[in-house]
Amino acid sequence: MPTRLSISASHITALIIVIVIILLQCGRQEPANEMVAKVGNRTISITSFERAYLPVILYGDKFDSPETRKQTLDYLIGDKLLAQEAEKAEMDTFSILKHVTRVAEQKAIARHVYDDWVRKKIPVPTDDDLRLAFERSNKSMLVRHLFASTKSASDSLYAILQSGSMTFEELAARVFTDSLLAADGGSLGWLAWGDLDENLENAAYDAPVGKFTEPVESQYGWHILRVDDYKKQVITSETDYLQTKPALNRRIYERREAIIGKQVLNDFMRDQQVSFNREIAKPVFNAIIARRAPKDDMAPGEREKPLEREFATLRDELAPYMDQTIVSFSGEGWTVSGFLERLPEMGRREFYNNLYLGTANLVRDELLSRAGYAEGYEKAIDVVEEVQDRKDKILAQLYLQTLWDTLTITEKMVGKYYQDNWQRRYQGPDSLRLQEILVSDKALADTLMFRLRSGADFDELAQRFTQRVEFEHTIGDLGWQVAGKTAYEIEYSQALKVKTGVPVGPIETESGWAIVRSTDRVRYAEPLRLIRDKVQKDMENYHQSIVRQKALDEARSHYKIDRYQDVLSMIDKK
């Protein structure tokens, strides 16, 4: 009989919460017909804008601002323009659009289900909630805890503490297998508001200093807490409260969402009985791992490519397994063939970190979407919009790809791009001409550094005091040094931080105490032969951006574009 590996509901739930919460933390839900722009026969609603804008703020290097909003909207408008051009070229008949529509609809419905099941059940924080949170946010606590997995075990610990037969610290040494917690008496250190489970937090903030609490239940088990000390910001004002109120509101909402989400989704997944046929999963996953690209090699644009492109020979190798069941759930299962069809839908993070949990995510999405289809959610306005946005993005990419495929890249073009951009993009590390004063005594080094700061001549002190024999006749000259190729890495790294001619030190080295300065600094270009692939890729990206801009300029003359800037400026980014 094949062995089976089960994935618990808690594991699946944790993945659901992490991924779905990130995708849904988009402020308020606006009417879907409230537009920020209209482009030809396409519209961009507030919810569509927020779906695109949130990742820019959360994962990019930009902050929320009118300019960032404008840039994001410009890009969305561009996708809508190019999508309509693609439709003119009948690219909407391509088979990939059917696949994209199915995947996008499934994910959109799953999010819609989550919204109905979880977000609409979250109590809105009251002013009393916010003021209590504000008061607690200005108080940090030094907390210890004892942990037990069951109520009866925690009651036993509580009885021992009450009897006085053992101290809190002695009990911690007994109950914790973690050596640090055992040695530190169960210390959690200094904690701020929001660091603890909400039940534990309520107990800790209500506990007198030095007194242990009764057993308190958290999502992990049972705890007994003791607050040893606290620090409090005494002077606060109504202005302080009003300034922090939005952040407090968001944090309370997120915590409630996590609790309700876990409860609801656990109830949903409890009876699904997800399990893997490990004898089949192991060779299949090993074959996938052998073909997947290294994380560090993944360019931003690669994330949009179907993963199946990376496994050209995968199906041939796995031919003996294709009809075998790899994962079972709810009285049914996926064969290896069915799993491979769904593999491009797997999130990149799960794909690279844990294929078992990534596959469980695919099962989760299918189960949630089935529940949504049963309720007719595929007709919901926000689902229809999200599917259309995804289709338009793919159509825009298909249209651009046909234009990019006409680009011809020659060696001469690569060389010219390198020459035009090496000073801005392809400089190697700084080369420094270093000069050193090396002595064996720290006190002497401190004295020499003081004299240099008082105006003493570096050459004169180097000639007189440096103890590096091989350089005594060249007043401490270490010559030209460059990162990765220098025998004086410590001296080089310190001199790199200051201007040419400025001494730095004393620096402790293997040879003694050094004071060092750079007397000259030069930066050279990295040789083209060593970075040619990078230069060519950069050049291709540059030319592709030009092609995209030309295509947009042409498309703008074919479609009317209306922007509703007042609506855009009112979007509340929580």
Judge if 438 and 422 occupy the same domain. Answer: no
* Contact between 113 and 377 (Cβ < 8 Å): yes
pLDDT above 60: residue 306: no
Q: What is the mean pLDDT of residues 265-291?
A: 87
Final residue before a domain boundary, out of 182, 210, 232: 232
Task: Quick: pLDDT tens for 391-412.
Answer: 999 999 999 999 998 888 899 9
pLDDT at 477: 86
Residue 537 belongs to some domain of the structure: no
Judge if 157 and 278 occupy the same domain. Answer: no
Task: Quick: pLDDT tens for 88-106.
Answer: 999 998 888 888 888 889 8
Final residue before a domain boundary, out of 232, 251, 275: 232
Strands (E), 448-549: 477-482, 504-509, 512-522
Judge if 159 and 126 occupy the same domain. Answer: no
Task: Quick: pLDDT tens for 173-197.
Answer: 999 988 888 899 999 999 988 888 8
Final residue before a domain boundary, out of 208, 232, 256: 232
Judge if 50 and 176 occupy the same domain. Answer: no
Judge if 500 and 387 occupy the same domain. Answer: no
Residue 151 belongs to some domain of the structure: yes
pLDDT above 60: residue 150: yes
- Supply the mean pLDDT for the chain: 84
Report the run of H or E that residue 487 belongs to, with start and end.
Answer: none
| Closest by Cα among 441, 457, 449 to 508 | 441
pLDDT at 471: 53
Q: Strands 512-522 and 504-509, how do they pair?
A: antiparallel
pLDDT at 279: 94
Q: Say how far apart CA 220 and CA 399 lie, in whole Å.
A: 51
Judge if 324 and 419 occupy the same domain. Answer: yes
Q: What is the CATH number of the domain that holds 155?
A: 3.10.50.40
3-state helix, strand, coil split of the chain in percent (to 5) is 60, 15, 25
* Contact between 125 and 132 (Cβ < 8 Å): no
Judge if 252 and 366 occupy the same domain. Answer: yes
pLDDT at 127: 92
Residue 531 belongs to some domain of the structure: no
Judge if 462 and 404 occupy the same domain. Answer: no
Residue 24 belongs to some domain of the structure: yes
For residue 568, name the pLDDT band (cuts at 50, 70, 90).
confident
Percent of the chain with pLDDT over 70: 89
| Closest by Cα among 470, 415, 410 to 438 | 470
Q: What's the total number of domains in the chain?
A: 3
pLDDT at 115: 85
How far from each other are the two terminal CA atoms of the chain, in whole angstroms? 53
Percent of the chain with pLDDT over 90: 44
Task: Quick: pLDDT tens for 475-508.
Answer: 788 889 887 788 888 888 898 888 999 999 899 8
Q: Say how far apart CA 79 and CA 420 lie, in whole Å.
A: 30
Residue 527 belongs to some domain of the structure: no
Residue 539 belongs to some domain of the structure: no
Q: Strands 42-45 and 139-148, how do they pair?
A: unpaired
Judge if 211 and 332 occupy the same domain. Answer: no
* Residue at token pair 């010559």: 479
Residue 152 belongs to some domain of the structure: yes
Starting at the edge strand found earlier in the chain, the sheet holding 504-509 runs 477-482, 431-439, 512-522, 504-509
Judge if 513 and 441 occupy the same domain. Answer: yes
pLDDT at 297: 43
Judge if 272 and 351 occupy the same domain. Answer: yes
pLDDT above 70: residue 520: yes
Task: Quick: pLDDT tens for 441-480.
Answer: 899 999 999 999 888 999 889 888 888 766 545 678 888 9
Supply the range of the domain harboring residue 189: 139-232
Residue 529 belongs to some domain of the structure: no
Judge if 194 and 274 occupy the same domain. Answer: no
Q: Which two tokens stand for residue 180?
A: 């640090």
Task: Quick: pLDDT tens for 524-557.
Answer: 888 888 889 999 999 999 999 999 999 999 999 9
